[in-house]
Amino acid sequence: MTFDHQVRDLSLAEAGRHQIRLAEHEMPGLMSLREEYAEAQPLAGARIAGSLHMTVQTAVLIETLTALGAEVRWASCNIYSTQDEAAAAIVVGQGTPEDPQGVPVFAWKGETLEEYWDCTNQILTWGQDASGEQVYANMILDDGGDATMLVHKGKEWEAAGQVPPTTEEDSEEFGVFKALVRRTLAEDPQKWTRVAAEIKGVTEETTTGVHRLYELARDGELLFPAINVNDSVTKSKFDNKYGCRHSLIDGLNRATDTLIGGKVAVVCGFGDVGKGCADSLRGQGARVIVTEIDPICALQAAMEGYQVATLEDVVESADIFITTTGCYDVIRTEHMVAMKDKAIVGNIGHFDNEIDMAGLAKVPGIIKTEIKPQVHEWTFAETGENGQPAGRSIIVLSEGRLLNLGNATGHPSFVMSNSFANQTIAQIELFTKPGEYSTDVYVLPKHLDEKVARLHLDALGVRLTELTKPQAQYLGVDVAGPYKPEHYRY
Ligand code: NAI
């Protein structure tokens, strides 16, 4: 097969390699899995299509998967999240920019939507083998579920004999997605049946993608087994929370350099991501207000000392707005026109529909000014309903896409080592034990979750207390774990 790839600039590879080397030091989970499985090569024969932010940390994941025997093709799961130097280093591998010998990556920072979906198609389509047979991926490693959706919708529309016409109701992105599926089916009318037949399973990284998987399973439409990596405790209670605690503030600072102390910041949603974001803003001295729809999370926010209000109550007075809900239409046009001058608006949830960017663009007379890439000022020509003056503006980050990866470089390595150790173990589970997983959605067993945590203790100098046998008997657990029942919530 030819070694195809599409990245910004292969001459960035050296810079990327230095960063990857330092990241490896901070990713003990992934590095010890490399050691543990070096001989066994459990992923030999796996052809993994990876759709996950192409960052330095992901580079360490990719090279862990290949160290375990897998072949890999990679795209980012967001048009702004690629670190071009990491992508270049992965493509170059042990070779040189003139003679790259690494892994095919299809990702660069600032893709168009057409390019994005084309890259997603590329990771599933592996070219022809020596005998001229078309080869496809046989595993998916997904973040947000776009690669999984392409296979599912592709097969559904293939069976229906056509891709439904694009309508006014479709978002711009869904229109582009339909056009891509139309093109692939014109090239090969049975493509998606063939791809779906190859895929042994998918491991899904994030809350939003997991939500899509459970919907497919509920409706009897899931095509292959899935592991919900997000709900490993060592993923969602660490990456979503402590990762965002680090990277939200990083994104805000790199984008605006506005002092956060003393400002009023609104965090929409107080789930795992919202908890990390609220903590992050409070740590900088912001006065944080939370909005929630769930009484339990609202009560948690109140107990943490945050004011809990509706967006409508505070929209005219707050300085910073962050959406973390995984829901849609959370900050709408009527909110944005009511905000005060130079309010900052950003989203850290997976998709860009938490903020109604399409509606904002349609406000009469609105002017969009690029301050720098992924930072835009939107100036209102008209007076607001409550007398907000014409000429006021708001600052929107990453066009409403996740700002921690658009305006900064996402989560730091150590926390991603936890998430990606879960991903690696989940890939091994689905690839090596096909008979044990039927077409449904699973979480990893607790002993593997505990293993991931254990792999990260030494690096932090943590000394764990060991249960004595009688103590273990008293608690009704094994000395070696698992230590908690499935229903325990941490
Ligand atoms: P979660 O389900 O734990 O939290 C979301 C919270 O938002 C829930 O408590 C829910 O009640 C609340 N919510 C829903 N609709 C709302 C609305 N209209 N107004 C106010 N609150 C509302 O989910 P989690 O894990 O916190 O993830 C949130 C989003 O962030 C997902 O899209 C996920 O995929 C994404 N994510 C992004 C990361 C990043 O690095 N940017 C990292 C991890 C997750």
Ligand 1 neighbourhood includes 276 CB (under 6 angstroms): no
**Paired tokens of 385:** 């309903």
171 is a catalytic site residue: no
- Cα–ligand 1 centroid distance for 135 (angstroms): 37
Ligand 1 neighbourhood includes 477 CB (under 6 angstroms): no
Locate all alpha helices (DSSP H) within 188-332, ordered by sequence.
191-198, 207-218, 233-235, 244-256, 272-283, 295-303, 311-314
Ligand 1 neighbourhood includes 290 CB (under 6 angstroms): no
- Cα 425 from Cα 376, distance rounded (Å): 40
pLDDT of 36 above 90: yes
487 is a catalytic site residue: no
In the chain, % of residues over pLDDT 90: 99
Query: 96 Cβ partners below 8 Å, 6+ apart?
Result: none
11 is a catalytic site residue: no
246 is a catalytic site residue: no
- Place 376 in a pLDDT band, splitting at 50, 70 and 90: very high
- Between the alpha carbon of residue 236 and those of residues 219, 226, 467, the distances in Å are 25, 17, 27
DSSP 3-state percent helix, strand, coil across the chain (nearest 5)? 45, 15, 40
Q: Is the ipTM of this complex over 0.85?
A: yes
pLDDT tens-place string over residues 239-269? 999 999 999 999 999 999 999 999 999 999 9
H or E stretch at 290: strand 287-291
As annotated, the binding site for substrate includes 55, 143, 205, 235, 239
The DSSP line for 65-97 is HHHTT-EEEEE-SSTT---HHHHHHHHHTTS-S
**Paired tokens of 279:** 């903590």
pLDDT tens-place string over residues 151-203? 999 999 999 999 999 999 999 999 999 999 999 999 999 999 999 999 999 99
Using only the alpha carbons of the chain, give its radius of gyration. Answer: 23
Residue in 5, 24, 32, 53 annotated catalytic:
53
